[in-house]
Amino acid sequence: MSSFLPENEIHRTVTEPSRQAEIVRLLAANYRQIFASAMAIVGRPEDADDIAQDACVVIWEKHNEFELGTNFRKWACQIAFNIAKSYVRKQRRHGVGLSDEALAKVIQMRSAGSELFELRRERLRQCLKKLSREDRQFLASCYRSSTSIIELAAKQGRTPASVNSKLQRLRKRLTECVHRRYPEGETL
């Protein structure tokens, strides 16, 4: 039986479905951040939505360039950001949009904010590891389901006030842990 695909394309299509499924999952999980990257530049939700959709098309077209296991959000948001910058430049030709200086400031602020977010996120992961298994399970039960505090309390045989109190204590501990300054060389 002859194939109309070259040998390397046959191999790619065999392994492609799982990769495509992962890209779709990553796109869905990061769409809000892709939209936010566009919104930070264009300022109008309607335009940002169009740009985010255009970015999704480009991401899909270039998904083979993405190395699984690296930072998808950063890669995808950079694509959206580049499309948004191009949009702003086109708008400026029509007398609307940010100057190059203002756009550079937005880019600088976005980059710094993204780095800070990633740093805090990593610190939160480390702080969560320091909690007891019971506390981590408690937090998971609070955040991974759409169960209300009242329903959660009933399942645990506790009062809603005690569940809420425990949740507040754990949030405070995590916030303090994330914001704590550490001596040089010492980690969380």
Output the pLDDT for position 7: 41
CATH of domain 1-98: 1.10.1740.10
Topology, domain 113-188 = Arc Repressor Mutant, subunit A (1.10.10)
Output the pLDDT for position 41: 81
State the 10-residue block means of pLDDT for the chain, 188 residues long.
38 61 91 87 88 95 90 90 86 63 67 68 89 92 82 89 93 89 50
How many other C-beta atoms are found inside a 10 Å radius of the C-beta of residue 55?
Answer: 25
Which ranges in the chain are annotated with CATH 1.10.1740.10?
Answer: 1-98
Query: What residue type is 77 in one-letter code?
Result: C
Output the pLDDT for position 5: 35
- Compute the Cα dihedral for 144, 148, 149, 152 and give only its sign: negative
Q: Radius of gyration of the chain from Cα atoms?
A: 22
Output the pLDDT for position 76: 93
Which ranges in the chain are annotated with CATH 1.10.10.10?
Answer: 113-188
State the distance between the two ends of the chain, measured CA to CA, in whole angstroms. 60
Nearest to 142 by CA among 162, 127, 122, 124: 162
Output the pLDDT for position 99: 65
Residue 19 has which token pair?
């990769």
pTM attached to this predicted model: 0.50
The answer to whether the CB of 98 falls within 8 A of the CB of 85 is no
Output the pLDDT for position 179: 84
